[in-house]
Amino acid sequence: MPLIRPIIRLVLVAAAAMLLSACASLTERAGLPPSIERAEALERAGDAAGAARVYEDLAAQNGGAERNALLLRAARGYLAAHHAEDAARVLAMPEGPLSAEQSSERALSNVELAIERGQGKEALQQLAAIAEPRSAAQAARYHELQARATGRPAGGFPGAAPEEEIGPHIALLLPITGRAAAAAISVRDGFMTAYYQVRAAERPRVRVYDTGTHSVAEALAQATQQGADFIVGPLTREEVAAAAEFSVARAPLLALNFLPAEQPAPAQFYQYALSPEDEARLAARRILEEHHRRGVALVPAGAWGERVLAAFKQELQGGGGELLGTAVIDASRTDYTASITEVLRISDSTARYRRLESALGTRLQFEPRRRGDIEFIFAAAQANTERLLRPQLRFHYAGDIPTYATSDAFEPDVRANEELDGLMFPDMPWMLGGELADAVRNATREAWPSGGPQRGRLFAFGFDALRLAQALRQRGAPGNISLEGLTGRLSVDPERRVHREMGWAQLHNGELRLLPAPEP
């Protein structure tokens, strides 16, 4: 019986080796089958054209209303990537009756297509034939296209001040066009969903400024000239750094990202972000609260992994913990054996076995062992990487070690998340559930019965950005802000940085289970 486990393991390893040698491409990320998840990941990464191709492939595998919805999403992607002819081709493909929402979406996309082709007059004629949409996202897009068709650099949505009027308003600065368009549109849709939940009499005027077509400095100058009394945005790290360098007097600004650590924030400059570094610090605190002190970390190679690891290490060591070892993994590959065996010191165990075998001159029965002083593993990575990393940790004798990550490891797909069994991470109420999250989901379901815009974490981020802006306009002092949001319980510190308190979850059979707070 003692021999059974090593034999089974050797058989499994041999089988895996045969499979890998038979198909060398398995060690690299090859073309994956099309899926909604993959398309949305491409959107988040800024590859709008790649996402559009995946949506088009998915449409070919479906029929009816689902096919039409996927084709319309493909058209939006091609338009965001400025592939006008691909967009035109896909917009001609929907068949059968379209829902009211889909008809409106197709009409708006045809308007955007005309603008992409430089046909502003035709675009305005098409807009004149379209009734203003009732949903928040489509109404915003309607007014945005109206502004683009007339050549104006800024647009508004219902409740916005007329272009010629100079009056108090919230300026929303987002790269609606360009590489970050998909992320910006998700933020905008969430922002406007929150806007329409404000009672009509209390809604602020809002104007949208596209930093994808104009510089941040130009957008800020125009917003200031047009009377903005509060500014939300911009979105990307580069844009936020540029906004901090804007030297002209302006209204208070809520940036939707953090400045680099070495760049000081100017006056009236608030910073709000879905920061993986902040989540890494939360993970370190959770580990210490659960009385773990010594452990290891694995992160993807690159700037993201470096920032997350640095934040985690600083917080862990500041609380008396110790990082016994770290390793980076190449997220472009599928086999992380070298990094795992290095950080778990399994390679040391194997080396000792070989030395002993050599000294004795005989073959020994051997089962590799990891180092025994590891109390936790911090394994932060994106969801597709985490799904490969977690089973490999189990295979290398580390399945029983408490393993923590950031929310990037989780995407709501029960089948895909089965491999993440046991993983613990912090996440926002929008993903974990709660009274406000449930209320907003019900409202969006009523507004968009057939699906509507993508409503992931960036949607929740945009929703909370509007509510934060309202609170800061009304209350002023950072210390007065405490807000239950979709992204967490929000507060503002004296340096005007927004902090998020989040709940914790663990995956069991692909499903989330909320974790209680650690015992004192």
Give the pLDDT confidence score for residue 28 in this predicted structure. 38
Asked which of 149-163, 426-440, 456-470 is least confident by mean pLDDT, the reply is 149-163
CA distance 48 to 26: 26
Tell me the average pLDDT across 93-106: 87
The amino acid present at 211, given as its one-letter code, is T
CA distance 419 to 388: 8
Q: Which residue has the higher pLDDT, 396 or 498?
A: 498
Grade residue 352 by pLDDT with cuts at 50, 70 and 90.
Answer: low
CA distance 192 to 140: 8
Give the pLDDT confidence score for residue 359 in this predicted structure. 57
CA distance 232 to 151: 23
Return the bridge partners of 491, or none. Answer: 482, 499
Q: Which residue has the higher pLDDT, 5 or 292?
A: 292
Residue from 460, 453, 474 nearest 502 by CA: 460
Is pLDDT above 50 for 4? no
The amino acid present at 483, given as its one-letter code, is L
Is pLDDT above 70 for 517? yes
Instruction: Identify the CATH homologous superfamily for domain 149-271+431-501.
Output: Response regulator (3.40.50.2300)
155 in Cβ contact with 54 (< 8 Å): no
Is pLDDT above 70 for 291? yes
Question: What is the average pLDDT value for the chain, to the nearest integer?
Answer: 84
Is pLDDT above 80 for 182? yes
- Give me the half-sphere count of Cα atoms (radius 13 Å) on the Cβ side of residue 53: 9
Is pLDDT above 90 for 467? yes
CA dist list (Å): 170 to 131, 157, 216, 231, 485: 26, 12, 16, 6, 20
What's 193-241 look like in SS3?
HHHHHCCHHHCCCEEEEECCCCCHHHHHHHHHHCCEEEEECCCCHHHHH
Instruction: Tell me the pLDDT tens digit for each residue of 502-512.
Output: 999 999 988 89
Give the pLDDT confidence score for residue 16 in this predicted structure. 39
Q: Phi, psi at residue 321, to the nearest 5°?
A: -85, 170
Grade residue 20 by pLDDT with cuts at 50, 70 and 90.
Answer: very low
Instruction: Tell me the pLDDT tens digit for each residue of 399-442.
Output: 999 999 999 999 887 677 889 999 999 999 999 999 999 999 98
Q: Looking at the chain, how many residues does it have?
A: 520
Residue from 398, 335, 399 nearest 369 by CA: 398
Q: Which residue has the higher pLDDT, 21 or 280?
A: 280
Return the bridge partners of 378, or none. Answer: 297, 404
Q: How far apart are the first and last CA of the chain?
A: 43
Q: How many percent of the chain have pLDDT more than 70?
A: 83
CA dist list (Å): 298 to 330, 342, 377: 11, 11, 8
Listed as own residue / partner, the contacts of 288-294 with beta carbons closer than 8 Å and 24 or more positions apart are: 288/316, 288/319, 288/320, 288/321, 289/518, 290/402, 290/518, 292/321, 292/375, 292/376, 292/402, 293/320, 293/321, 293/322, 293/375, 294/321, 294/322, 294/324, 294/373, 294/374, 294/375, 294/376
* 3-state SS class at 92: coil
CA 223 to chain centre: 28
Instruction: Report strand pairing: 294-300 vs 503-508.
Output: unpaired
Instruction: Tell me the pLDDT tens digit for each residue of 223-278.
Output: 999 999 999 999 999 999 999 999 899 999 999 999 998 999 999 999 999 999 99
Give the pLDDT confidence score for residue 56 in this predicted structure. 93
Is pLDDT above 60 for 70? yes
Is pLDDT above 60 for 390? yes
Grade residue 289 by pLDDT with cuts at 50, 70 and 90.
Answer: very high
Topology of the domain comprising 279-428+505-515: Rossmann fold (3.40.50)
Residue from 478, 480, 520, 484 nearest 502 by CA: 484
CA dist list (Å): 455 to 53, 143, 152, 244, 462: 20, 21, 29, 29, 10
35 in Cβ contact with 58 (< 8 Å): yes
Tell me the average pLDDT across 493-518: 93
CA distance 364 to 353: 8
Listed as own residue / partner, the contacts of 17-20 with beta carbons closer than 8 Å and 24 or more positions apart are: 20/335
CA distance 221 to 242: 13
Grade residue 21 by pLDDT with cuts at 50, 70 and 90.
Answer: very low
32-131 carries CATH number 1.10.1790 = no
